[in-house]
Structure 1
Amino acid sequence: MTTEPLSFPRQHARTQRFTLGAPRAFAVAPDGSRVVFLRSRSGTDRANLLWVLDVADGTERVAADPQALLGGVTEHLSTAERARRERSREGSGGIVGYATDTAVELASFALSGRLFTAELRAGTARELRVPGPVIDPRPSPDGRLVAYVSGSALRVVGAEGENDRALAEPEPSAEPGTVSYGLAEFIAAEEMQRSRGFWWSPQGDRLLVARADDAPVRRWWISDPAQPERDPQQVAYPAAGSANADVRLYVIDLDGVRTEVVWDRARYPYLAHVHWSEAGAPLVLVQARDQLSQLFLAVDPDTGVTRMVHADEDPQWLDLFPGVPCWSPAGQLVRIADEGGARVLAFGERPLTGPQLHVRAVLDVTDEEVLISASAGEAAAAPETGEVHVYRVNELGLERLSQEPGVHSAVRAGGVTVLVSAVLDRPGARVQVLRDGKRAATITSYAESPGLSPRVTLTQGGARKIPCAVLMPTDYRGDTPLPVLMDPYGGPHGSRVLAAHNAHLTSQWFADQGFAVVVADGRGTPGRSPAWEKAIKDDVAAVVLQDQIDALQSLAETFPLDLTRVAIRGWSFGGYLAGLAVLRRPDVFHAGIVGAPVTDQRLYDTHYTERYLGDPNTRPEVYAANSLIDDNGLVAAAEPARPMMIVHGLADDNVVVAHTLRLSSALLSAGRPHEVLPLSGVTHMTPQEQVAENLLLLQVDFLRRALKPA
């Protein structure tokens, strides 16, 4: 008996976009002997195990197996844990995150709201019986204690399970359910990439702890109309122009004595980054509400007094970057800055890189050098469309560690580097373990191989040299022009034109249905220059839409594109962009798939929206110009009317379904034909297998009806 191979949509959904079974979340022991990572047992298994690679002999062994630890019981997640996973876009299960002590000897993690530790040398794991549900457990640097959050309180327990106690918990006077210690508030986790709320001192004798009070934040209600017997979920959502959570920072000793860290919170309310290492005093980055200024502050942990180490200002906005600010081992401030039209690595007050590189993240800092992630800057000798590389930088210059054209990242410690490399002509990502620059081992991936390979051309389009990817059907012979599907994200923080195989799988599947697929990373997308990213200030809509049009029309001069049949699809910002396209430029775009769109900018969150559009209370005209509907819920649409499929998850707490409902009402009032596909129980992600599969199939059906490809 033979089994029919899975269709691409089903395989794509079942493997969570071919990510299951791939190793991730690496930690390297400081002596270079071990690499710790997460990986599930196969390309369709959602439950991650904790693994250890012994670098000396290249052997891999399981350090913690969630199935064994839970005794086969189905994992249960608390509401707070579900919210954390939604913020980090985590769709897998089992061990989805872990933390280690400094020596990478002890790891801690939560499973089903219970606390577990693993001794990484011995390969043994056990549960510590503590009050739950447990969130974000982290060992002390010396491995003697584990701190964790439970019931909005920060607690600590001995590594053997002894002497569990609360260090900080909501005050009796606080409004119930509003105060938490040790957790990142919504806006920090969703927009600042700060997913944690407490940090151990290097000596393990005290912690920096964030206290978040979301009582001032407006309450919204998320309901599931398909389950009318269930109560709606209340969420504290800081919409643009409204109040944020009140965030404070404390130094808390192991006996519970606390000292508040003092800075001008009225002027700099955003706690964006915290760093505490042996190289210097605790370091915090605080940001103004308008994100035009920020301070780097050193903290005296005995008194809570802060002193300014550095200050930044920018007329558009200030970005936040992974890995910085931090101290070098010698006590120099390491940061990423926009200087001289370039995004550079700065060591102290001195830039170490120039316009030839666009620095994206700091990966590791030693006395000798800094390891960074970067793409080619605008002053580079040649464009490297879609490439991201790893570089070693010091005062004498820089050296590229990754060699293959592709997208690379790295983790390093103790002379050992874990280099993760994705390239165009190889599925998935290869993980090499390098010792002193030479390959010592390769970490196996169990991810499934897709049943197709992208037929992709990376190029540039238009006078602005917009990075583009063009995908043609696998069996296309070049004899007739093809209807076009624009498939962008097109906005801040998201690049889709990447020199990596798996980045283009869905686009290739759409191409194989009879389309020429075009992906364009216009102004506002990351990885090119500060000016490129900040060109959208106050004018997100017109700028991003024009770059899609310029790329399309330029590419039509060299590719067989039928400009009389052009559709556009997108999700989140891409959904917003698709809505813009069909409503404002129906002369160019003939159909649109509008997924989870932000249709009214006033309904999206503070830190993101105000960065680009300012305060809606003082600049309502800017918000109106950049929304799909106006203050009266009306849609301004050019003629002729174009077909739209609008898709939205009813459980989405990031881009709430009100965006789609208001757009649909406006379209109905204007007599504009459209169809709405509500996804019951679906959030901003679509991890459900059947939903994800059928969503692709329904999109193709819509495109065939709208464009009628051969």
Structure 2
Amino acid sequence: MTDSYPRLAARTARFTLGIPRNLSVSPDGRKVWFIRTPDGVTRTGQLWEHDVATGTESLVVDPDALLGDSGEELSAEERSRRERARESGAGLVGFAVDDTGRWASFALSGRAWAVHLAGRAVTALPSVGSVVDPRVDPTGRTVAYASGGALRVVGVTGQDERALVEPESPTEVWGQAEFAAAEEMDRHRGFWWAPDGQSLLVERYDERDVPVWHVADPEHPERKPAEQRYPAAGTTNADVTLWHVGLDGSRTEVLWDRAAFEYLASVSWNQHGDPVLQVLSRDQRRVQVLAADVSTGATRILRDVSDDDWVELSSPPRLAEGGRLVTLEDVDGMRRVVVDGTPVSDASWQVRSIVSTHPDCVVATASQEPVEVQVVRFGLDGTAEPITSGAAVHGAVVGGPTTVVVRSSLEHTSTTVTVHPEDGEPQQITVASEPPPLEPVVTLLHAGPHALRTAVLFPRDHQPGSQRLPVLMHPYGGPHAQRVLASARMFLEPQWLADQGFCVVVSDGRGTPGRGHAWERAIRDDFAGVTLDDQVAALQAVAEQYPDDVDPSRVGISGWSYGGYLAALAVLDRPDAFHAAVAGAPVTDWRLYDTTYTERYLGDPNTQPDVYDRNSLIGRAASLKRPLLLIHGLADDNVFAAHTLQLSSALLAAGRPHSVLPLSGVTHMTSQEVVAENLALLQVDFLKQSLG
């Protein structure tokens, strides 16, 4: 019997296994290193090398060969780190290479390893405790790693293992990113090597005053609940400082106005000058970019940027050739490349990330049409030269004269990884992913007065005008996540859902990325109003576009995380438009979510509690009139199960029938194969029964 699509999607990590990732190009452009699983169903990442001169690739590190029958073991700290990074892979999930291209380091089964890349000699380094994020220094002599709250170092050949800095209390940690940075600021690192490899900048955080929350395992009442320091909105964050630490054990604190700028958003240190810090105020309306004098710890202000709503964090500021400062800033309504305070990209491009800097240009990813992402060379003279083209999503990595482009389009579900040498023909890096069992058939619309980018999918055997199908809205709908992109891979699950007998609609409303400053900030203080209104507008536009093919009297909505919040909100606030909902891991009261994300958009609950009340689902419980299925992983340490349980209690108190599906041992990611399959089938059955 052929396995179902949901089971295949879980087994293949949504058909991403086998796609090269973590691409890195040597400074001279001669080598490309990457992680790839051996096939499309094995989760164990291996380290590979592509030789640009010959166009051939070779296996550098095979975790199975290193571990043998003992297999991989992960510590609680490493599991937590992977949860923050939404990492479900095994084996190698990251690596670091020195600037000489001689040595690479990586973590495997809780240990630090080094590999001499030319000789393929792999060494398990002496280490203490469970190793987190081992990184070889730029000169290829020393590996630093975090373990047990300390930052430790060891030579690449295994000599002189020792602690550089150690915690003085159980709540103090050196060399790792605190929860807020890892979960909400896309910063997963806690230390940065100096270009000469003789010292590091090291984060120290102390969670002593952060509230303690508990994650219980009701399936195993004999086990104690796991304690977790969780900075809920309006409460105390971890105390974060940054230190310059020499290999000789010397240390100097890097100083800035931490009372005014509580968050350490990013750190960059390269050969072009002093290290650059990006610090952020608690209300996130002001950012300073600082240069640090590591000998004294003093900092000086390079940029000071403010916004009435919030300053968006994107690519970390960095120094480029000649000591020029390169930042991404919102100028004239669009995110632009700014060099030494002057925008060099024009306002027709919404820049998404910096790829690389060069003496005469900055290479970045950017969009003019929000469903497409191109790689663009922005000249310091104001010119813009797209490197890629077409209706697709592109990414790139640059090293010396070599550029590697990753491309995914609506034309097919495969991803291509192409090496572009300075001279010669482009070269393809092997993609070993499993082909999906279906090809999405996607129609993109500009829906409603805001031209919402909206995808519509019908069953592949549907004949236009033959019958009016129930509608299934399938949004995320919140900030920092875009669902409607010119990539067929984005629509595999929506197509499978459509094939179950629905017209599936995926729409990106205001607040999602890609469309400029005002678009993103339209949700300020109003998640509930703006994001739901846009889903209604998309629904109405589809109903008008396909009057003979959709039935607006049978509309379901399903989503996960913010999409779960939006799904539950839809049946609570607009039962006239939405007739059933599946809400997975929904945030139901924003007071229960973390500081950095929630306060960015809704402010401080202590000073504007009315905003939190207006955006909460709890107070709306009595208005439920439609079928609602709540799903939640009981081991979720991001959106705690308390969200669903509190909403369920309020619904019960109001006498409103609903269904709750608890998932024992499941976190915010439901990557378990059997769970994912049965969960998908249960949701479809619920929606079919509820919508008739």
> Which residue of the other structure, out of 584, 589, 604, is the alignment partner of 1:595?
584
Matched, 1:704 2:691: no
AA aligned opposite 2:480:
H
Conserved? CA contact 1:157–1:165, under 8 Å: yes
Secondary structure of the residue that 2:22 maps to in structure 1? strand
Residue identity matched to 2:359 = D
- Range 549-558 or range 215-224, more displaced: 549-558
In structure 1, give the amino acid aligned to 2:335. Answer: R
1:575 aligns with 2:564: yes
State the alpha-carbon separation in 2 of the partners of residues 162 and 625 from structure 1: 59
Partner of 2:488: 501
Q: What's 1:351 paired with?
A: 343
In structure 2, give the amino acid aligned to 1:690. Answer: V
| C-alpha deviation, 1:343, in angstroms | 1.3
Return the alpha-carbon distance in structure 1 between the equivalents of residues 370 and 290 of structure 2.
37
Residue of structure 1 in register with 2:332 after alignment: 340
Q: Does the residue aligned with 2:578 lie in a helix, a strand or coil?
A: coil
Give the distance between the partners of 2:430 and 2:573, measured in 1 at CA. 48
Letter in structure 2 aligned against 1:334: V
Q: 1:130, CA displacement in angstroms?
A: 1.6
SS at match of 2:405: strand
- Give, in angstroms, the shift of residue 255 of structure 1: 1.1
CA distance in 2, matches of 1:19, 1:152: 33
Inter-CA distance 437–581: structure 2 relative to 1 (3 Å threshold): farther
Write the distance in 2 (CA, Å) between the matches of 1:91 and 1:679: 18
Residue of structure 2 in register with 1:624 after alignment: 613
Whether 2:643 is the aligned partner of 1:650: answer no
CA–CA separation in structure 1 for the residues paired with 2:378 and 2:348 = 13
Aligned residue among 147, 151, 154 for 1:154: 151
Give per-residue Cα distances to partners, 1:585-644, cap 9 Å, x unaligned: 0000000000000000000000000000110011110000001013xxx62526xx1001
Query: Counterpart of 1:389 in structure 2: which amino acid?
Result: Q
State yes or no: 1:512 paired with 2:491: no
Q: In structure 2, what is the Cα distance between the partners aligned to 1:582 and 1:611?
A: 26
Match of 2:426, as an amino acid? A
Decide whether aligned partners of structure 1 residues 79 and 653 sit closer, same or farther in structure 2, where only a CA change above 3 A counts.
same
In structure 1, C-alpha distance between the alignment counterparts of 2:506 and 2:443, rounded to whole Å: 10
Match 2:446 to one of 441, 446, 460? 460
Whole-angstrom distance in 2 between the partners of 1:658 and 1:61: 48
Determine if the alignment matches structure 1 residue 672 to structure 2 residue 656: yes
Alpha-carbon distance in 2 for matches of 1:664, 1:408? 42
Shift of the alpha carbon at 1:439? 4.2
* 1:130-209 equivalences in 2 (<5 Å): 130-171=127-168, 174=169, 176=170, 178-209=171-202
1:310 corresponds to: 303
Deviation at 1:670, TM superposition (A): 1.4
> Cα offset for 1:68?
0.9
- Among all aligned residue pairs of Structure 1 and Structure 2, give the percentage whose two residues are the same amino acid: 52
Instruction: State which of 180, 202, 224 in structure 2 corresponds to 1:231.
Output: 224
Query: In structure 2, do the counterparts of structure 1 residues 355 and 97 end up closer, same or farther at CA, with 3 Å as the change threshold?
Result: same
Q: Output the CA distance in 2 between the equivalents of 1:672 and 1:248.
A: 49
SS in 2 for 1:103: coil
1:122 shift after superposition: 2.2
Distance in 1 between residues matched to 2:576 and 2:118, nearest whole Å: 64
For residues 423 and 583 of structure 2, the distance between their equivalents in structure 1, rounded to whole angstroms, comes to: 46
CA displacement 1:439-468 (0-9 Å, x = unmatched):
431111111001101111011100110000
1:225 and 1:96, CA in 2 relative to 1: closer, same or farther beyond 3 A? same
Using the alignment, how far apart are the partners of 2:136 and 2:335 within structure 1? 35
What are the equivalent positions in structure 2 for 1:544-583 lying under 5 Å apart? 544-559=531-546, 560-583=549-572
1:61-98, Cα deviation, whole Å (9 max, x unpaired): 11111111112312111111000000000001000111
The answer on 1:447 being equivalent to 2:436 is: no
2:94 is aligned with 1:101: no
Equivalent residue, structure 2, for 1:10:
7
Shift of 1:398: 0.9
- Distance in 2 between the 1:398 and 1:439 partners? 24
Give the equivalent residue in structure 2 for 1:380. none
**Given that residues 126 and 161 in structure 2 are in contact (C-alpha distance below 8 angstroms), is that contact kept between their aligned partners in structure 1?**
no
Q: Is the 8 A contact 1:361 1:372 kept in 2?
A: yes
> How far apart are residue 437 of structure 1 and its match?
7.9
Q: Is the 8 A contact 2:336 2:351 kept in 1?
A: yes
Distance 2:281 2:292 in 1: 18
* Equivalent-residue separation in structure 2 for 1:385 and 1:426 (angstroms): 19
Structure 2 Cα separation of the partners of residues 523 and 313 of structure 1 = 22
Matches within 5 A, 1:6-405: 6-171=3-168, 174=169, 176=170, 178-322=171-315, 324-376=316-368, 384=369, 386-396=371-381, 397-405=383-391
SS of the aligned residue for 2:384 comes to: strand
Distance 1:21 1:232 in 2: 37
Aligned partners of 1:673 and 1:272: how far apart in 2? Answer: 44
Moved more, 243-252 or 435-444: 435-444
Q: Give the aligned partner of residue 381 of structure 1.
A: none
**Whole-angstrom distance in 1 between the partners of 2:425 and 2:501:** 43
Per-residue deviation, 1:21? 1.1
Please give the per-residue CA displacement for 1:184-233, whole angstroms capped at 9, x wherever unaligned.
Answer: 00000000111010000001111000000011100000011011121111
Deviation string, structure 1 residues 295-352 (Cα, Å, up to 9, x no partner): 1110001000000011000001011112x20011111110111111111111111101
How far is 1:119 from its partner?
Answer: 1.6
Specify the code of the residue in structure 2 equivalent to 1:316: D
Unaligned runs of 5+ in 1: 377-383
Which residue of structure 2 aligns with residue 420 of structure 1? 406
- Deviation larger for 309-318 or 222-231: 222-231
> 2: distance between equivalents of 1:437 and 1:531?
43
For residues 355 and 366 of structure 1, the distance between their equivalents in structure 2, rounded to whole angstroms, comes to 21
Structure 1 equivalent of residue 530 of structure 2: 543
- Maintained 8 Å contact 2:4/2:677: no
Counterparts of 2:544 and 2:510, CA distance in 1: 21
Equivalence for 1:477: 463
Query: Aligned letter for 2:327?
Result: R
- The alpha-carbon deviation at position 436 of structure 1 amounts to 2.8
Paired residues of 2:17 and 2:43 also in contact (CA < 8 A): yes
SS of equivalent to 1:541: helix
2:7, 2:411 → 1: CA distance?
23
Report if the CA contact (8 A) 1:28-1:104 is conserved.
no
Q: 2: distance between equivalents of 1:438 and 1:219? A: 58
